[in-house]
Amino acid sequence: MKQGSGDVNVQTSRGGEQVGIAYDETHRVWLLRTPHSAYAVACPSSVTVHHQEIPDPLLHVYWGEPVTLADAVHIGTVKRQRWSRRGFESPLDGAEEYPVRGGIRFGRAALAARFGATRSIEWRLVGSNTTRDGDTHQLTVEFADGPLHLALHYRIRADTDVIERWAVVTNTGDTPIELDRFDSATWTVPEADEYRLSHLSGRWSAETQLRHQILTDGEFVIGSRRGTTSHQANPWYAIDDGSATEESGTVYSGALAWSGVWQLATQKLSHGGVQVLGGVGHDGFGPYRLAPGESLTAPVFAGLYTADGFGGASRAWHAYQLRHVMPNPDADRPVLYNSWEATGFDVNEENQKALAARAASIGCELFVMDDGWFGARVDDHAGLGDWTVNPERFPNGLAPLIDEVHRLGMDFGIWVEPEMVNPDSDLYREHPDWVYHFADRTRHTMRNQLVLNLARPDVADWLYDRIDALLSDHDIQFVKWDMNRPFTEAGWPAETDNPERLWLDHVHNLYAVLDRLRAKHPGVAFESCSGGGARIDMGILARTDQVWTSDNTDAPDRLIIQHGYSQVYPARAMSCWVTDVPNFLDPRTVPLRYRFHAAMAGVLGVGGDLSEWSDADLAEATDLIAEYKTVRTIVQHGQLYRLRPPSPGLSAVQYVAPDRSEAVVLAYLGAQRFGERPPLLRLAGLDPHARYRVDGVDDPLTGAALHGFGLPLRLNGDYDSTLLHLTRVGD
């Protein structure tokens, strides 16, 4: 589709900036303008590479602070003039917006395909289109090489600097096309003297730990081959020049909205420049066979430019997810109690009612019964897959327990792990081929369970029917959806034409099941859990109300985990529990107050054995929960400032209401040394001209004083902590 020069679907954002898509027909340059950034690509009719004409290359032009369309045209021309002329390199490497396999290229390809007798792609531009739907603007650029058709999509909105990108590939021929790699997008970082990569890594019980490293020539790859987002890595990255701080400096970041196997590859080219390619699949994934007439849509790989440091990037990501990703984002999440650590598998109507009474007495608003309520589930060896109420433990069904929980003024929630099956279950005995396996090979269990082949439509329908029946037959308001076993022996013997599709179809069908359940049961909230934090990403956040951050509830450890989590995901979705000490991982003991304050940094929950808590503990918990309820809207919906990162000394986070009328500070002292006082805590994000009343301070102080001088903290002794509530009292 031909476009004329000039602004296409341009609007004024809330801040008065021009937002939209502009196009220069002569130079075939598109400029995407967000409230505080610009992004440009060009598709000249041809470029010369080693004295040969390459038709219709899609080139990256610019990403950074706002510029004009004329600027973008000039920048694109200068960049091509500066191309490397060395005979052993390709100027296309690091310059293309979406590199493909074939031609004079040596870098990593975002798209690698085989069709007919060729493994090399030589595409031509076949059209482009820009559309506007309210505050949303979209650009689509389309290419083709024989039967291989590719559409690259860009989407921007008037209230965010996040740019959403994804790709769609279609087989227009009459024979299959094999895809060896199909990324969502490639993000190109502007030239810098140095590149520092930040990313999240870890393991079970130690998820989302923030890492930094200086990039050297070559590739750095993170991803998951486990069927889930994984404990080991998370699909987010940030790149700066090594000088950015929490609140200043240019940061380029990206996040992939996908809950299965994935890969982010950062390549630093020998002649300069850095690109990040990301999408579904892992090394060895594929080939994925694209049938005649079939299209495959890659998940969104979103990118963000900010000049306000890592904190500014985080706040932009949080706002974007709350506005455009998460369901019901404006609702406050309730304080929950979960029965797992109190009763384990040994659940029954009597002990759950007793725990519910204690949970209600301290102010909990949601009671969640965990594992052990169904089938022959007395331990982890049996029962998964048989989602019917155990008649011995609940002789009158779940209704008496649910009614009592509601009578106590709480909502009722329940735990399920519906993607799994125990070999010792009626489901497995009836359908042994419903699990991932290889024909004539041993089916190895982990955690005494196997993974159901949710890629199969009949399994997906069965799963939906089981959970739908559970929700239809019971007055349930919350589902904790667990997924504890990674994929191994991921085979699908019945799918002979395209067995590798299981890696994608499992996630697509999971999304479809959750979407159907949410549509039919709009009053039910869902939590994503996967052995802790192994399924946290923007794909699952689009379908769940919160995520279980980690099985590790040790408060000092959780500060580190929550610090990494907060780089990209909002507190509104971060489920945090107060549990007993010492926990199953760490022998240390920390005060109940410190544990509560660590959990108050997100969606507060309680998971300890309340039957063993003293009257003093219950009274203190009651006061702390009441205090959390007075500030939770600010925590769950406010802007986050990481004042001091987790350390053996002082750590602190701050949440500021959108209108800056209130703020909440949570501060934690690790170990006190040499009798020294903790340093003054400088606050952030407040109106410098307004006066704020601070808990424990006699006279109101201006935002400028709280930022420039700070607050003395009354913390004394190891693992002391405090919550401060600030309220604006005038200008």
Residues marked active site are found at 482, 551
Three-class DSSP labels, 564-605: HHCCCCCHHHEEEEECCCCCCCCCCCCCHHHHHHHHCCCEEE
Q: Is 166 annotated as a binding residue?
A: no
Helix/strand/coil for 621: helix
Determine the Cα–Cα distance for residues 255 and 237; give it in Å rounded to an integer: 7
Q: Could you tell me the strand order of the sheet in which 662-669 lies? A: 639-644, 650-656, 662-669, 721-730, 691-694, 701-702
- Count the neighbouring beta carbons within 10 Å of the beta carbon of residue 307: 15
Q: Is 473 annotated as a binding residue?
A: no
Backbone angles phi, psi at 519, to 5 degrees: -65, -40
Q: Is 551 annotated as a binding residue?
A: yes
Q: Is 548 annotated as a binding residue?
A: no
Residue from 92, 114, 118, 117 nearest 105 by CA: 92
Partner residues linked to 372 by β-bridges:
none
Residue from 188, 147, 192 nearest 171 by CA: 147
Q: Show Cβ contacts of residue 690 under 8 Å, excluding neighbours closer than 6 positions.
A: 660, 702, 703, 728, 730, 731
Q: Is 682 annotated as a binding residue?
A: no
Q: Give 549's Cβ-side CA count (13 Å radius).
A: 33
Residue from 544, 398, 408, 407 nearest 475 by CA: 398
Determine the Cα–Cα distance for residues 731 and 728; give it in Å rounded to an integer: 8
- Count the neighbouring beta carbons within 10 Å of the beta carbon of residue 293: 10
Handedness of CA 276, 281, 287, 290 (dihedral sign): negative
Q: Is 480 annotated as a binding residue?
A: yes
Q: Is 613 annotated as a binding residue?
A: no
Q: Is 43 annotated as a binding residue?
A: no
Rg of the chain in Å (alpha carbons): 27
- Count the neighbouring beta carbons within 10 Å of the beta carbon of residue 536: 33
Helix/strand/coil for 721: strand
* Biggest alpha carbon–alpha carbon distance for the chain: 83
Contact predicate 113/175, CB 8 Å: no
Contact predicate 602/586, CB 8 Å: no
Partner residues linked to 450 by β-bridges:
421
Q: Is 576 annotated as a binding residue?
A: no
Residue from 566, 611, 559, 619 nearest 590 by CA: 559
Binding site: which residues? 204, 370-371, 447, 480-484, 529, 551
Annotated binding site for substrate: which residue ranges?
Answer: 204, 370-371, 447, 480-484, 529, 551
